[in-house]
Amino acid sequence: MSVIPWIFTLSWQLAPFASDIRRAPLPMALALALLAVCVAQCVVSNRNVRPSYAAYHGTAAFPRRRMMAPLALLLVALGLLAALAAVDGVGPPGLLMMAMNVPLALVMTQVLLVPVRTFLLQSLALVALTTGVLAAAGVRGGVLAGVVPATLFGCVLVLISFRPSAWSLSVMWQAEEARDVQARLAVAEERLRFGRDMHDVLGRNLAVIALKSELAMELARRGRPEAVDQMVEVQRIARSSQQEVRDVVRGYREADLSTELAGATGVLRAAGIECTVEGDSGADLTAPVQAALGWVVREAATNVLRHGDPRRCTIRLTAAADEVVLDVENDGAPMAPAASDSGSEEHGSGGNSSDGSGTGGSGTGLPGLRERLGSLDGSLDAGTAGDGLFRLTARIPRTPGTARTPHTETRTALLEERR
């Protein structure tokens, strides 16, 4: 919107210099002075655009002192235009074009501060003021009659130029604000759900543990052997609660492939990245395989957003008879060393994430994903694919062998030492 006043000035104020300004010292001096005032109007209009938009959107009040400069420039411009008309220094076409430009700074500031109806009434008042001043300067007949539609046209043109633009910006801002609010609400709802689940699981058990502990304490003070039985029951409830908490957390952190694909597509497209999902849907895959691939999709989408400058991302799922392959490829990856097994990739879809995607593993990001896939006899490869592309590939057998927990080998070695 800051370009609009300059376009109006170049169109309406410079054009009369070509043929309508009389080539004499006084008319040229008055015309140049009027041009300088119009340039000042453009500067003032640009300074007032941001606070005017803030007032239109309702985020801040418009400082009334900022109206002093547009009013002063309006009066100076009217005086110079009247003087130019009084010395017969400009022809009728040039006079009408200059009359359209005279109230520029004032109307561009006021158009976003008042309702449309009020603005139109104020525009009629400006038309009456401009017409009266030029009539006092000696303008008569058809030229004076033409000042009315010319000045009104300038005001209406400002209205239809500024108001829709401000409305569009306001709608986009509100949409962005709504997305932020929706995201915060989703986080709050998830926290409430998790807190409710934890309360349901632990609330009753902790109350029973407290009650039985008090009972065991009283029995122990009296030397009753039943105190041991009560503490055994407390131990059993505590272990049961521990397992229930693990089940809640496992379900809370479980990743569903179809949900993660839809979520990744939505997030990437919202960030301006063209995201396409190709291949199989994965609906017929087993739950462990879907969960592992869901974590891969989540990690890849996170790092596409965090690293490089991607414009396109392709997620491809291929389910063969004996193996499932998930490829995530994006452009805009910065040049970096080749991927390594330690999970040092930090760009494109292979960047490390701080979200702790490894459950039961020692690392986060790609190291955690490798541990997840390794427990299903799968593998993870990540690296550049040429032409600024980065590719992450996850492979899992369609029917994995015996699942291995992340530290199975370590525990086995310890057991052997004990034997």
Spatial CB neighbours of 47, under 8 Å, sequence gap ≥ 6: 66
What sign for the dihedral angle of Cα 215, 219, 224, 228? positive
Residue 40 near residue 73 (C-beta atoms within 8 A): yes
Predicted pLDDT of residue 95:
86
The predicted pLDDT at position 1 comes to 61
Q: How far apart are CA 274 and CA 238, in angstroms?
A: 50
pTM over 0.85: no
Q: Confidence class of residue 404 from pLDDT cuts 50, 70 and 90?
A: very low
Q: If pLDDT is split at 50, 70 and 90, which confidence band does 191 have?
A: confident
Give pLDDT tens digits for 132-167: 999 998 888 888 899 899 889 888 888 888 888 888
Domain 257-409: which CATH number of 3.30.565.10, 3.40.50.300, 3.90.170.10, 3.40.50.10330: 3.30.565.10
How many whole angstroms separate alpha carbon 20 and alpha carbon 29? Answer: 14
**How is the chain split into domains, by residue range?**
4-177, 185-253, 257-409
From the CB of residue 103, how many other CB atoms can be counted at a distance below 10 Å?
26
Question: What per-residue confidence (pLDDT) applies to 121?
Answer: 92
pLDDT 10s digits, 332-346: 876 544 433 333 344
Alpha helix positions (H), 254-393: 257-270, 287-306, 366-374
In this structure, whether the domain defined by 185-253 belongs to CATH 1.20.5 is answered with yes
pLDDT at 273: 86
Phi then psi dihedrals of residue 389, to 5 deg: -95, 150
Q: Which residues neighbour 306 within 8 Å (Cβ) at sequence distance 6 or greater?
A: 351, 353
| Residue 21 DSSP label | B
Strand 389-397 to 379-386 pairing:
antiparallel
- Let me know: does 379 contact 339? Beta carbons within 8 Å: no
Phi, psi of 251 (to 5 degrees): -70, -35
Is 6 exposed, middle or buried (CB count within 10 Å of its CB: 0-12, 13-18, 19+)?
Answer: middle
Give the model's confidence band at 2: pLDDT under 50 very low, under 70 low, under 90 confident, else very high: low
Mean pLDDT of the chain: 79
Please choose, from the candidates 40, 122, 48, the residue with its C-alpha nearest in 3D space to the C-alpha of residue 73. 40
**E strand or H helix at 38, and its extent?**
helix 25-57
| C-beta pairs of 332-335 under 8 Å, 24+ apart in sequence | 332/308, 332/388, 333/307, 333/308, 333/384, 333/388, 333/389, 333/390, 334/307, 334/308, 335/384
The secondary structure element, H or E, covering residue 379 is strand 379-386
